[in-house]
Amino acid sequence: MAEKKEYSLQEKRAIANRRAEELKSYVEPYLQARKLIPDGFSSWEIIQERQQKILKHFRGTEENWQDWRWQLRHRIKDAAQLIKLLGITPTEAEIIAKVGDKYRWTLSPYYLSLITPGDDFCPIKRMSIPSKEELQDEQGKEDPMAEEFTSPAPAVTRRYPDRLIIKVTNQCAMFCRHCQRRRLIGEVDRITPRSQLQAALDYVRRHEEIRDVLLTGGDALLLNNDLLDWLLTELDKIEHVEIKRLGTRTPVTLPMRITDELCRILERHGPLYINTQANHPLEITPAFAEATRKLARTGAALGNQAVLLAGVNNDPHVMKKLNHMLLKCMVRPYYIFHAKAVKGTSHFRTRVEEGIEIMENLRGYTSGLAVPTFIVNAPDGYGKTPMLPEYLVSLAPDKIFLRTWENRILEYENKN
Digit-coded pLDDT (tens) for 226-241: 999 999 999 999 999 9
Task: Give, for 214, the enclosing helix (H) or strand (E).
Answer: strand 212-216
Helix axes 194-206, 225-236, angle to 10 degrees: 20
**246 neighbors 273 (Cβ within 8 angstroms):** yes
The one-character DSSP state at 401 is: E
Total residue count of the chain as it appears in this document: 416
Where do you find CATH 3.20.20.70 in the chain? 147-385
Task: Determine if residue 146 is left, alpha or beta; phi over 0 gives left, psi from -120 to 50 gives alpha, anything else beta.
Answer: left
Q: What is the pLDDT of residues 129-147, one digit of tens each?
A: 999 999 998 787 777 777 7
pLDDT attached to residue 47: 98
Euclidean distance between CA atoms 396 and 84, whole angstroms: 67
**Phi, psi (rounded to 5 degrees) for 216:** -150, -160
Better-predicted residue by pLDDT, 119 or 183: 119
CB 349 within 8 A of CB 141: no
Q: Does domain 147-385 have CATH number 3.20.20.70?
A: yes
pLDDT of 1 reads 53
Return the pLDDT at 148: 80
Using the predicted structure, report yes or no on whether residue 165 has a pLDDT greater than 90: yes
Query: CA 264 to CA 231: how far, in whole Å?
Result: 15
Question: At residue 397, does pLDDT exceed 90?
Answer: no
Q: What is the mean pLDDT of residues 258-267?
A: 98
The per-residue pLDDT for range 266-284, each reduced to its tens digit, is 999 999 999 999 999 999 9
Angle between helix 260-267 and 225-236 (nearest 10): 10
pLDDT score at 416:
67
- Least confident among 57-61, 243-247, 256-260, 400-404: 400-404
Instruction: Quote the pTM value.
Output: 0.95
**Model confidence over 279-312: pLDDT tens digits?**
999 999 999 999 999 999 999 999 999 999 999 9
Residue from 367, 54, 309, 7 nearest 180 by CA: 309
Q: For the chain, what percent of residues have pLDDT higher than 90?
A: 88
Digit-coded pLDDT (tens) for 334-384:
999 999 989 999 999 999 999 999 999 999 999 999 999 999 988 877 889
Contact 331/279 with Cβ under 8 angstroms? no
